[in-house]
Structure 1
Amino acid sequence: MTVFDDFKRLKAQGFPQILVIFGEAEDMVEELKRQFLAAVDFDPADLSQAYYDLNAGNSDLALEDLESLPFFSDSRLVILENLVNLTTAKKNVLDEKQLKRFANFLEAPSETTQLVLILHGKLDSRLKIVKKLKAEASFLEAIALKNQELIQYFNQSTTLSRPVLTRIAEKSNDRFSIMKQNIDLVETYASGREVTVDDVEKVVPKSLQDNIFALTDLIFKGKIAEARDLVHDLTLQGEDLIKILAILTNSYRLYLQVKLFQEKGWAENQQVSVLKMHPYPVKLANQLVRSLSVKSLKKGLLDLIQLDFDIKNSKADKAYLFDVTLIRLTLKKI
């Protein structure tokens, strides 16, 4: 069960009088907001509906709307976004007097008013007003979907095949908003015909993780010029060397684990089960390390850990240190 399943259930039952959409997964909050506005046919010109972004400094007007009786219909929908007083963010949009007015509404909400809160972040459960809200409202918490949940969600809303969706998820780093954009991209490219995995490879940009796999492949093949060029291109694209190093180190750690599994004769599905990660990087790792030794992978991992230490202790320019380590990794005998 995902938050979208909960959303469908609430929609089928009829949205509650007080609904809170919140969470730290920003793209998921935005998607839930979009789906809610579509479900209620939200129209800013409709006088029975009102939306307020409280960051815009219209708190008094929003509270007046919340407290008022509907004039032109039997009920009124009031949507308040960014009521950050209720979150762990160190920021307020309501002063104490305004917050009291909001608390008074929660104490005795008008039967003719439906309130929807859209909060970007984590609720501060220590606050009395949040505890009161929890007693009165229904909640939809935006939690990032796991790989298989992501594929299943888009499998229900698109005609793309599962292998295509699986590859898009991999190239999107399992990010909901990026995957959604990439689906639109490949569908536009295919222009009505069936989308193939080849289309995904041609159209969807490589993720940083994909580029790191390409980098390690160059390292293992001893292609120093190409490896340095790839790192240079990544930094020109705005990627930070520290981030590249972190992913490269994690990749080497995975390669070492996979090599040890190979020596034990473990199948890829057994490795995936133990590692608790997506099958795709495990599959790539198995291909990359087949001809390598455990000793060389351990040495490479130690070199990267040492590089991280040297950079953090400012022994020299990080670009220089990274380049020296890259050369050492690429030119060593394996």
Structure 2
Amino acid sequence: MEYKEAVKQIKQKKILPIYLCYGTEKFLMNEFIQFLTNEFIDPVHKDFALIHFDLTETSIDQVVEDVETLPFMVPNKLVIAKNASFLTGTRDKSKIEHQIEKLEKYINSPVDYSVLVLYVNAEKLDERKKIVKLLKKQNYIISFPSLKPNELSKWVQNRVKKNGSYISQQAIETFILYAGTNLQTLDGEIEKCCLFAGVDQEITSEMIQQLVVRSTEQNIFILVDEIVKKKLDKALTIFYTLLKQKEEPIKIVSLIARQFRIILQVKELSSKGYSQYQVSSQLSIHPYAVKIADGQGKLYQEEHLVDILDKLAELDFQMKSGQVDKVLGVEKFLFQVNM
């Protein structure tokens, strides 16, 4: 089930006895659990009605026992258990032994006064497992995958609107380019920009460039975008900014190489008929980053990208062996790729 459908059902007071939440969008998952909590539990009952467990410390059978126990002084209760890694294909590193049979039995006969929420920050569940099949059959599973590019843009737009301001599509692109794709980070930066702009005022690209705090990786992402657009002056400005932030030129070159490697890989996979979402899964990068890399790759022949990567590899060797001044080496590279 998609989380939007689950939200719709909860608003209609159709609350399921069990929810298994999984996926890579932790922010949306936490937001959903908070929404469920607010809808199901009266705020004055939270001390007795809201119970948290960590499944790396507590067995699932103990959690189920708590779920089945009658609430104390409240009409119902919400039991939230994180780190349900026994539902994935990854090896559970904790020493806790989970009696899955207890959960299987409960799924077939849940109580009506409790809601159990299991969640795990994992891209996939192990659908070969009996317990996962059973949860899926009952439609208790909600996925929180990375947002597609158009979904991410819409999310930013809605978040800005919720904060009382508005933003153009061009400014949304700038926002994501500068702030990245992490929803927690984006949410904080959106709130800051909305406060600066004011109610019913527009958030502009210039405002975003002035206010948004960029990580090193995001600066490299923008630097490479300026290289692709043949904007040497802007690429150099970002490079000098990174130097002022005490970033090592060798690290900068490594990150530039990583980004060009992604552009080449996206180009190769796209030429084989892979969709952007399939490429995202294959390379383990956000779909929005794939969209940007796909557009950048269309401006290059594969041979040109290979040549750029060769130049970066050679520069890396020269810098590490002391054959070239690090700063001058990067400046020379930027001039060469902008010719």
Q: Tell whether the structures are fold-level matches, with TM greater than 0.5.
A: yes
Structure 1 pair 42–186 and aligned structure 2 pair: CA distance change class (3 A): farther
| 2:80 is aligned with 1:69 | no
The answer for the alignment partner of 2:202 in structure 1 is 195
Structure 1 pair 320–218 and aligned structure 2 pair: CA distance change class (3 A): farther
The answer for the alignment partner of 1:16 in structure 2 is 16
Deviation per CA, 1:140-192, whole angstroms, max 9, x where unpaired? Answer: 20011122212323433423233443432332334322221210120222344
Query: Over aligned residues, Cα RMSD in angstroms?
Result: 4.3
| 2:189 is aligned with 1:182 | yes
Structure 1 pair 211–117 and aligned structure 2 pair: CA distance change class (3 A): same
The answer for the alignment partner of 1:90 in structure 2 is 91
| 2:329 is aligned with 1:317 | no
Cα distance in structure 2, aligned partners of 1:23 and 1:307: 38
Residues 83 and 93, structure 1, Cα contact 8 Å, conserved in 2? no
The answer for the alignment partner of 1:151 in structure 2 is 153
Question: How far 1:40 sits from its partner (Å)?
Answer: 3.0
| 2:256 is aligned with 1:244 | yes
Residues 18 and 137, structure 1, Cα contact 8 Å, conserved in 2? no
Which piece of structure 1 moves more, 321-330 or 301-310?
Answer: 321-330
Cα distance in structure 2, aligned partners of 1:115 and 1:27: 20
The answer for the alignment partner of 2:286 in structure 1 is none
Q: SS at 1:110's partner residue?
A: coil
Residues 224 and 235, structure 2, Cα contact 8 Å, conserved in 1? no
The structure that has the greater radius of gyration is 1
The answer for the alignment partner of 2:172 in structure 1 is 165
Which piece of structure 1 moves more, 91-100 or 177-186?
Answer: 91-100
Gap runs ≥5 in structure 2? 268-289
Cα distance in structure 2, aligned partners of 1:330 and 1:144: 33
Structure 1 pair 323–24 and aligned structure 2 pair: CA distance change class (3 A): same
Letter in 2 for 1:20: L
Residues 166 and 201, structure 2, Cα contact 8 Å, conserved in 1? yes
The 5-angstrom pairing of residues 279-290 of structure 1 reads: none
Structure 1 pair 51–199 and aligned structure 2 pair: CA distance change class (3 A): same
Question: How far 1:72 sits from its partner (Å)?
Answer: 3.4
Structure 1 pair 194–70 and aligned structure 2 pair: CA distance change class (3 A): same
Residues 21 and 32, structure 1, Cα contact 8 Å, conserved in 2? no
Which piece of structure 1 moves more, 99-108 or 17-26?
Answer: 99-108
Letter in 1 for 2:210: K
Structure 1 pair 221–196 and aligned structure 2 pair: CA distance change class (3 A): closer
The 5-angstrom pairing of residues 118-137 of structure 1 reads: 118-121=119-122, 122-137=124-139
Q: SS at 2:136's partner residue?
A: helix
The answer for the alignment partner of 1:269 in structure 2 is none
Question: How far 1:129 sits from its partner (Å)?
Answer: 1.5
| 2:261 is aligned with 1:212 | no
Question: How far 1:315 sits from its partner (Å)?
Answer: 8.6
Letter in 1 for 2:29: V
Structure 1 pair 254–154 and aligned structure 2 pair: CA distance change class (3 A): closer
Q: SS at 2:99's partner residue?
A: helix
* Aligned residue pairs, count: 301
Cα distance in structure 2, aligned partners of 1:323 and 1:252: 26
Cα distance in structure 2, aligned partners of 1:75 and 1:300: 63
Structure 1 pair 49–254 and aligned structure 2 pair: CA distance change class (3 A): closer
Cα distance in structure 2, aligned partners of 1:234 and 1:250: 25
Deviation per CA, 1:201-223, whole angstroms, max 9, x where unpaired? Answer: 21113433223334567884699
The answer for the alignment partner of 1:31 in structure 2 is 31
TM-score, normalised via structure 2 length = 0.69
Structure 1 pair 155–38 and aligned structure 2 pair: CA distance change class (3 A): farther
Question: How far 1:22 sits from its partner (Å)?
Answer: 1.0
Question: How far 1:38 sits from its partner (Å)?
Answer: 3.3
Q: SS at 1:126's partner residue?
A: coil
Cα distance in structure 1, aligned partners of 2:176 and 2:328: 34
Residues 226 and 234, structure 2, Cα contact 8 Å, conserved in 1? no
Which piece of structure 1 moves more, 47-56 or 321-330?
Answer: 321-330
